[in-house]
Amino acid sequence: MEGSAIDRVRAVKRVLIVILLLNWMVAAAKAVVAYLSNSLSVQADAYHSLLDGSSNIVGLIAVTLAAADADKEHPYGHRKFEVLGAMVIGVLLALAAYDIVRESVVRLRERTVPTPDAATFGVMGVTIVVNVFITLYERRRGRELNSEVLLADSAHTRTDVAASLAVIAALIFGRCNMPVADVIVSIGIGGLIAWAAWGIASRGAGVLADRSVLDPEEVERIAKKVVGVRHCHEVRTRGTQDAIFADLRIHVDGALPLEQAHDLGHRVEAELKAAFPGLRDVVIHIEPDDEKHT
């Protein structure tokens, strides 16, 4: 593995470990509050935060597997393991959403009344601040490191912020002798989690299905900037933002010697890699311009 790749993996792991510890701290605080206040919405929120920690562990495993070098059986590397890790996070979210909604229906029948106090509101306020920090920090680092796991996990944690705000609203309604609000908010949190799960799953599915990563027209434009390239077409790209694989066809003067045509292909590759830092490999098919092309 190249030095830059090793540094990236280490950076992603450091972020995940920091976030894991913060998520466990938040989950523990919410669990205590849920027990003391008898609030289903806080319990659901605590479950959500605990799941955040579980997803961090999944992320650490996925990033470690994805960091393995390309080999004979995996010539394109192992980067899709990170995408699979992100999709596992999505599955965990979907399961959590189901469990929260199921528990909400049971609580609706029992009509249990939450009993929040000032400490409850204080703890929830602190956890919101922590989650805002986690979301912003993880999303920023995810973009800097082009990490699917970090971006998926930041989307996951972002739902915690909205959920915690909704929980506070439910607790206020609970103190006003409106216990049904607690159940409604917990169901809303379940829906929010399910929506986040769908977003993560659909993004991961796109990578696994080899959805195009780069704009073909932009690739063609850059390729045709190289002197000697007359046409460029059939551009195909796949992979993740930090591990892109591309192939394309370029047309050159049919009388050009083989060695010069080969050198021209190398120059096109260099231009493309300079324009798209995540480009790992480029396969260029060189054809004489007198052949028919589309």
Q: Are residues 148 and 196 located together in one domain of the fold?
A: yes
Q: Are residues 126 and 77 located together in one domain of the fold?
A: yes
Q: Are residues 221 and 273 located together in one domain of the fold?
A: yes
Q: Are residues 33 and 147 located together in one domain of the fold?
A: yes
Q: Are residues 90 and 228 located together in one domain of the fold?
A: no
Q: What is the pLDDT of residue 124?
A: 80
pLDDT at 115 over 50: yes
Q: Are residues 55 and 157 located together in one domain of the fold?
A: yes
Per the structure, how many domains does the chain have?
Answer: 2
Q: Are residues 15 and 133 located together in one domain of the fold?
A: yes
Q: What is the pLDDT of residue 248?
A: 92
Q: Are residues 59 and 196 located together in one domain of the fold?
A: yes
Across the chain, mean pLDDT equals 78
User: CA-CA distance, 97 to 93, in Å (whole number)?
Assistant: 6
Range of the domain at 147: 3-208
pLDDT at 12 over 80: yes
In a domain, 230, yes or no: yes
153-173 pLDDT, tens digit per residue, is: 787 677 777 777 777 777 777
Average pLDDT for residues 52-70, to the nearest whole number? 71
Q: What is the pLDDT of residue 114?
A: 61
Given 156, 183, 208, the domain boundary residue is: 208
Q: Are residues 93 and 233 located together in one domain of the fold?
A: no
User: CA-CA distance, 63 to 97, in Å (whole number)?
Assistant: 25
**CATH code (residue 106):** 1.20.1510.10
In a domain, 243, yes or no: yes
Q: Which of 166-180, 216-230, 279-293 has the highest mean pLDDT?
A: 216-230
Given 208, 235, 270, the domain boundary residue is: 208
Residue 211 φ then ψ, to 5°: -65, 145
Given 208, 238, 272, the domain boundary residue is: 208
pLDDT at 70 over 70: no
**CATH code (residue 277):** 3.30.70.1350
Q: Are residues 168 and 50 located together in one domain of the fold?
A: yes
Q: Are residues 200 and 236 located together in one domain of the fold?
A: no
pTM: 0.55
Q: Are residues 157 and 246 located together in one domain of the fold?
A: no
User: CA-CA distance, 92 to 201, in Å (whole number)?
Assistant: 11
In a domain, 293, yes or no: no
**DSSP sequence for the chain:** --HHHHHHHHHHHHHHHHHHHHHHHHHHHHHHHHHHHT-HHHHHHHHHHHHHHHHHHHHHHHHHHHTSPP-SS-TT-STHHHHHHHHHHHHHHHHHHHHHHHHHHHHHHHTPPP---HHHHHHHHHHHHHHHHHHHHHHHHHHHHT-HHHHHHHHHHHHHHHHHHHHHHHHHHHHTT-THHHHHHHHHHHHHHHHHHHHHHHHHHHHHTT---S-HHHHHHHHTTSTT--EEEEEEEEEETTEEEEEEEEEE-TTS-HHHHHHHHHHHHHHHHHH-TTEEEEEEEEEETTS---
Confidence of residue 1 (pLDDT cuts 50, 70, 90): very low
